[in-house]
Amino acid sequence: MSLLLKLSGLIDGLNRFVGRWVIWLILGSTAISAINAVVRKAFNYSSNAFLEVQWYLFAASFLLAAGYTLLNNEHVRIDVVVGRFSKRVQTWVDIFGFVVFLLPLCFTVLYLGIPFFLQGYHSNEVSSNAGGLTLWPVYLLMPLGFGLLLLQGLSELIKRFAFLQGLIPDPTLKVAAMTPEEELAEAIRLAAEQKKNQA
C-alpha cells in the first residue's frame, strides 16, 4: 500500500501543479474579453478569433482543473443523506461513486475523445465562423482534462482505502485556514477597531 500511496502523492502533486497554473487562464480570458470590447467600441473592429480564444481558455480552465477540484474535495456533492452516516460509511459511498460513476465516465470520454481529437488534428479542422481558429487544440482538452480527472479519481480511491485501513488520516478533512480575502477583511476589521479604541 505504501507504493500506491506514493503514486497517489505524485498524482496529487501533478494536479496541484496544473490547478495552480490553470487559474491564470481565467485572467487571460478576462483580459482578452476586455481588450476585444475596447477595440470593438474604439475602432469598430472585432474578430471571431477573439471570442473563440476566450472560449478555448475557459474550456481549458474548466477541464484541466477538474482533477484539482476533486483533489480539494470541492466538487458538487449531495450530503443531505450521506452526511448523516458515519465517516466509514461515507468513505464507502465515495468509493462506490468513484468506481461506478467517475472512473467509467472518464474511460468513456477518453475512449471517444482521443479519436475525436486525432481526427480533428489530422484534418486540421477549422471553426466554421469567419476568422475562426483551428479546433484540434480545444479537442485535445477533453482527453487531457478527463485524463487528469481519471488519475485523481484513482488517487482518491487509494486514499479512501488507506483511510479505511487506518494508514492515513481522513483525506476529506480540510485544514481550517483563512482565505486571502478573509485575512484582508480581518485586518481591516482589526484596524478599524484599533482606530475606534484610540478615539
E strand spans, the chain: none
- Are 65 and 21 within 8 A, CB to CB? no
Band of pLDDT at residue 175, cut at 50, 70 and 90: low
- What pLDDT digit, counting tens, does each position of 115-132 carry? 999 998 899 888 777 777
- What pLDDT digit, counting tens, does each position of 27-57 carry? 888 898 888 888 888 888 877 788 888 888 9
Give which of 80, 49, 75, 45 is closest to 62, Cα–Cα.
Answer: 75
Q: According to the model, what pLDDT value does residue 52 have?
A: 84
Q: Averaged over 151-165, what is the pLDDT?
A: 94
Give which of 34, 56, 76 is closest to 144, Cα–Cα.
Answer: 56
Band of pLDDT at residue 110, cut at 50, 70 and 90: very high
Of 78-82, 156-160, 193-197, the one with minimum mean pLDDT is: 78-82
Residue 180, classified by CB atoms within 10 Å of its CB into exposed (0-12), middle (13-18) or buried (19+), is exposed
Q: How far apart are CA 61 and CA 32, in angstroms?
A: 15
Band of pLDDT at residue 6, cut at 50, 70 and 90: very high
| Residues shown for the chain | 199
Q: How far apart are CA 145 and CA 2, in angstroms?
A: 27
Q: According to the model, what pLDDT value does residue 140 have?
A: 93
Q: According to the model, what pLDDT value does residue 71 have?
A: 92
Cell of 181: 480575502
Q: How far apart are CA 154 and CA 55, in angstroms?
A: 29
Q: Averaged over 52-64, what is the pLDDT?
A: 89
Q: According to the model, what pLDDT value does residue 113 have?
A: 93
